[in-house]
Amino acid sequence: MKESAASIASATVAIFLTGWIIIAHDLSPDFKQSLASLTGNHWISVSVIAIVLFILSLELLIGFKSARRFLRVYDISLWSTSLVAVTLIMVLGILAVLITQFLSH
Amino acid sequence: MAYENWIGHALIAIISLSLVVYVVTTGAMLRGRIKRSSGNIFKLHKKYGIYFGSFILGSFIYGLWIRLQHGESILLSVHGRLGLVILLIVALQVIPGLTLKNRATYRGLHKIMGYALAPILIIDASWGLYNGVIAGTKNLVLFHSISGGLAALFLTWIILEIRYPTQRSLSRARVASYVTVFLVTAGCWIAGGYNYLTSYGFQVKPLILEGPYPWVHEIVMELKEHIFVFLPIIALALSVTLSTLDGDIFLDDTKSRRALTMIAYLALFMVLLMFLMGAVISNAGQTGAEALK
């Protein structure tokens, strides 16, 4: 059961951090360029980072009992609600940034 | 194909898709594959089966009429041929169901054809969508959209297994989640990403930017390419959760099932959002190409 909620918590963390990376690379051309230089294309870099973040946070949560306890990873309801909320907020946040950029051009 | 005509055909197909999900669900309830809900399930299955059959017949006739207006045979396209196959399956499902007195001998075939109908319908609808929106069908984009359509179907299956659980629901939901992860990762993400990197930027993007709807690239495509990354992670989390979940907890703990349903709904919402954005982008590309002619 601890692993069950751990994967949802890891997805939440990965989406939250990836969302902020996407927003940052939309706002900063230099950051976008540095992401592109990692793999040749910024989209591939963001994709790889998202997967790495998911796997890393999953391993951390499975490996450390204290981290699971601190983040209340046993609570599947809490983390599924968090995953839905974080995903929707990140989608709306990225949309808001893109609309603002389009209108300001 | 005229856009107005095509959109009518597509609307009927979307209603048919919703109806087939309902009919398959009530069929699964009748066979005890998923837990029964209240009410006369057989009556509902029969009633909505007839509605579904009528919509399929209407959709086929509408499609046939549009093709004939352009002097084309319906059997020349794969979409048309699949439509005919669907119509034949529906006839074989509905007519014996209404006429046979002893349905026991027919039940096995009815079940197999019923389960086969949903994926065939999804493939044909995805094929038709891209035929209608992109004029000439590109294989990679087609594979991308069919994978998305099938992923939506598998996610619906997972939701039904979680909402109406029986002893074997968890194992079936696990299998469905593995297929979903494969479809979302290989079919949607990798195939879509490859198309985006090798073709979209050189062929479609300039047409959209030069056309009447440049915001479609600046906002819709940019949003799609970024939030697409979230989808495989959500599908993977759902799959890992289902794989590690204890069978007794799945059956007895309503709270856990509600949590899993939420994640499956989120993944389904994301797939449908991608589908909608894909259609808008393809349509803007075609409009841009026509405007530049």
What is the CATH number for B266?
1.20.120
Per-window interface: B 247-266 vs A, CB < 8 A: 249, 255-256, 258-260, 262-263, 266
Question: Do the beta carbons of residue B266 and residue A84 sit within 8 Å?
Answer: yes
CA distance B276 to B202: 22
Q: Do residue B230 and residue A43 have CB atoms under 8 angstroms apart?
A: no
Q: Which contacts of B68-72 are long-range, i.e. CB under 8 A and separated by 24 or more positions?
A: B69/B5, B70/B1
Q: How many domains does chain A have?
A: 1
Q: Do residue A84 and residue B258 have CB atoms under 8 angstroms apart?
A: no
Question: Do the beta carbons of residue B205 and residue B284 sit within 8 Å?
Answer: no
pTM: 0.78
**Do B111 and B164 share a domain, yes or no?**
no
pLDDT of residue B140: 77
Last residue of a domain, one of B117, B135, B153: B135
pLDDT of residue B105: 76
**Can you tell me the ipTM of this complex?**
0.94
pLDDT at B238 over 70: yes
pLDDT at B1 over 80: no
Other C-beta atoms within 10 Å of B219: how many? 18
Indicate the range of A80-89, B150-159, B242-251, B258-267 predicted with least confidence: B242-251
Number of separate helices (H) and strands (E) present in chain B:
13, 0
Last residue of a domain, one of B90, B108, B135: B135
Looking up tokens 């697409």 gives B228
Other C-beta atoms within 10 Å of B165: how many? 19
**Do B273 and B159 share a domain, yes or no?**
yes
Cβ contacts of B46 within 8 Å, gap of 6 or more: B97, B98
CA angle A81, A86, A88 (to 5 degrees): 100
pLDDT of residue A3: 56
**Do B90 and B210 share a domain, yes or no?**
no
**Do B7 and B110 share a domain, yes or no?**
yes
**Do B204 and B265 share a domain, yes or no?**
yes
Question: Do the beta carbons of residue B83 and residue B74 sit within 8 Å?
Answer: yes
Q: Do residue A83 and residue B234 have CB atoms under 8 angstroms apart?
A: yes
**Do B189 and B217 share a domain, yes or no?**
yes
**Do B96 and B221 share a domain, yes or no?**
no
**Do B53 and B172 share a domain, yes or no?**
no
Q: pLDDT class for B132, splitting at 50, 70, 90? A: low
At residue A53, what is the residue type? L
CA distance A4 to B239: 9
Nearest to B176 by CA among B192, B160, B197: B160
Alpha-carbon Rg for chain B, nearest whole angstrom, is 20
**Do B103 and B170 share a domain, yes or no?**
no
What is the CATH number for B123?
1.20.120.1770
pLDDT of residue B7: 66
Q: How many domains does chain B have?
A: 2
pLDDT of residue B4: 52
* pLDDT tens digits for range A35-71: 999 888 888 899 999 999 999 998 888 888 888 888 8
Range of the domain at B16: 1-135
Mutation for A interface: B159, B226, B241, B243, most A CBs within 10 A: B226
